[in-house]
């Protein structure tokens, strides 16, 4: 990650794009939301999959893996047969949910405006 294409080093003091590279993925924001709403409980893999409609087995595992690797989620393995694995947000992950919640709120409030504007082809009222 953070490839530094060719000789072109972008400003290393711009963490926003790096954050969006992670959070802008197709499923990250939704999984963080679901985990945040489950607080203070943790969620099993299967339960998570049920609460994120449309996600594939692979993408859920992959996204959870990256969240765990980034310290945004904790992973707890229950040593049973079959083993069950549970996830919850870390403090860091919980703090990330705050700006994400602001974004969700904006989206719910204003996406209809964008849709209307786009549908009318940008004509003034």
Partner DNA sequence: CCGCATCCCTCTAGATACTG
Partner DNA sequence: CAGTATCTAGAGGGATGCGG
Q: Note whether 74 and 68 are within 8 A (CB).
A: yes
Give me the residues that bind DNA (CB under 7 A), please.
1, 3, 5-6, 8, 21, 25-27, 44-46, 49, 54-59, 61-62, 64-65, 75, 82-85
Stretch that binds a second copy, among 27-35, 40-48, 77-85 (CB under 8 A): 27-35
Compare residues 44 and 104 and give the one whose CB is closer to DNA: 44
CA distances 86 to 43, 81, 107, Å, are 5, 14, 30
> In sequence order, which residues have a C-beta less than 8 Å from that of residue 108 and are 6 or more positions away?
none
* Contacts of a second copy in 81-120 (CB under 8 A): 92, 95-96, 98-100, 102-108, 110-114, 117-118
Compare residues 47 and 70 and give the one whose CB is closer to a second copy: 70
CA distances 112 to 14, 26, 92, 106, Å, are 31, 21, 31, 11
């Amino acid at each position: 990650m953070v490839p530094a294409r060719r000789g072109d080093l972008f400003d290393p003091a711009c963490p926003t794009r790096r954050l969006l590279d992670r959070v802008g993925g197709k499923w990250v924001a939704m999984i963080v939301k679901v985990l945040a709403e489950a607080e203070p409980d943790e969620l099993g893999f299967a339960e998570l999959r049920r609460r994120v409609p449309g996600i594939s087995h692979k993408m859920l595992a992959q996204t959870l893996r990256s969240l765990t690797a980034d310290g945004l989620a904790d992973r707890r393995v229950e040593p049973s047969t079959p083993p069950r694995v549970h996830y919850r947000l870390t403090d860091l992950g919980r703090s990330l949910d705050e700006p994400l919640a602001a974004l969700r709120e904006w989206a719910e409030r204003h996406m209809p405006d964008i849709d209307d504007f786009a549908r009318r082809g940008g004509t003034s009222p």
